[in-house]
Structure 1
Amino acid sequence: MVDPRGPRFAAAVTVVVLAAAIITGSPWVLLAQAAVFAVGSLAGIRHAPYGLVFRYLIRPRLGPPAEMEAEAPPRFAQTVGLMFTLVGAVGLLAGVPALGYTLAAFAFVAAFLNAVFGLCLGCRMYLVLRSITAKGVRA
């Protein structure tokens, strides 16, 4: 279980990083964000760099969360973000800027929706895929 404010904080930082990547056209900034997503995806969001900043610097200054949430949906969202930023960076490095900018923009929009409105698209995808998988198993 995780404090839902942590992934939202991480999404806000991600918005800034992805905006910098899009504005500068830097595949290296996208790769740096991909590395952050990779840690969150593989080791868990509590161990990702932005999660550590939230855990040690921000959360102690806040009251306890109203409720906790399962880690699996935001962790899946980190995996989706990893795929978008990684392929976007490869697109920029391979001289296919349309691919790079498009995938970076999609990741930016998803992070923005999470940061501003608390709408985690990757989390929703996780829940939909899980319900489809569960229905398929029962059939």
Structure 2
Amino acid sequence: MPNNTTTTQPDLVDVRGPRFAAWVTTAVLVLALVVSAVNPLVAAVILAVQAVIFAIGAVGGPRKHPYGRIFATVVARRLGPVQDREPTAPLKFAQVVGLIFAVLGTVGFATGAVLFGVIATAAALAAAFLNAAFGICLGCQLYPLVARFRRPARPT
């Protein structure tokens, strides 16, 4: 009896791309925090734009992520060949986590709950900086735990 199951390779990306994106994200989040001290509504706009960028990364993955596209078209061609790759699923989950914190921060800044906005933005900043500086992706570390709770697809 023939075996009709197929094994699919996970979608892999150059590890340097997400770290580049994390550096850009770190800069944007620092900007939002600095601006929040002067004008929380402008900080809300900055953070809302970053939330949209997180959403694009969560849905489309690193190759569709605006910072990922910049990496691929401008930065990667100036670097040596790819040495290491990582799967995209944990990266997409990490973007969802970033999106949640960015939305919470945006709501905080926009509604006048500035301390709440600062805390949510600082949490996102800490995660982005850990990834950028040390290659530690907190969302990626959480991904296996969350993936374990997903229900398997039911056969139709």
Normalising by structure 1, report the TM-score.
0.92
- Residue 149 of structure 2 is matched in structure 1 by 133
Deviations 1:17-61 (A, max 9, x none): 000000001111101111110110111121111000000001111
Say which of 34, 40, 45 aligns to 1:23: 34
- Residue 92 of structure 1 is matched in structure 2 by 109
SS state of the match for residue 14, structure 2?
coil
Q: CA deviation at 1:8?
A: 0.4
For 2:48 and 2:92, the matched residues in 1 are separated by 18
Say which of 12, 19, 26 aligns to 2:23: 12
The share of aligned pairs that are identical, in percent, is 44
CA RMSD of aligned residues (A): 1.4
- Residue 53 of structure 1 is matched in structure 2 by 70
For 1:127 and 1:64, the matched residues in 2 are separated by 29
SS state of the match for residue 128, structure 2?
helix
For 1:50 and 1:111, the matched residues in 2 are separated by 13
Q: CA deviation at 1:62?
A: 1.1
For 2:149 and 2:58, the matched residues in 1 are separated by 20
For 1:7 and 1:67, the matched residues in 2 are separated by 12
Say which of 135, 138, 150 aligns to 1:118: 135
For 2:85 and 2:122, the matched residues in 1 are separated by 29
Does 1:36 find its partner at 2:44? no
Ranges in structure 1 where 5+ consecutive residues have no aligned partner: none
Which one-letter code corresponds to 1:18 in the other structure?
L
For 2:115 and 2:109, the matched residues in 1 are separated by 8
Which one-letter code corresponds to 1:11 in the other structure?
A
Q: CA deviation at 1:133?
A: 2.7
Count of residue correspondences: 135
Q: CA deviation at 1:108?
A: 0.3
- Residue 118 of structure 2 is matched in structure 1 by 101
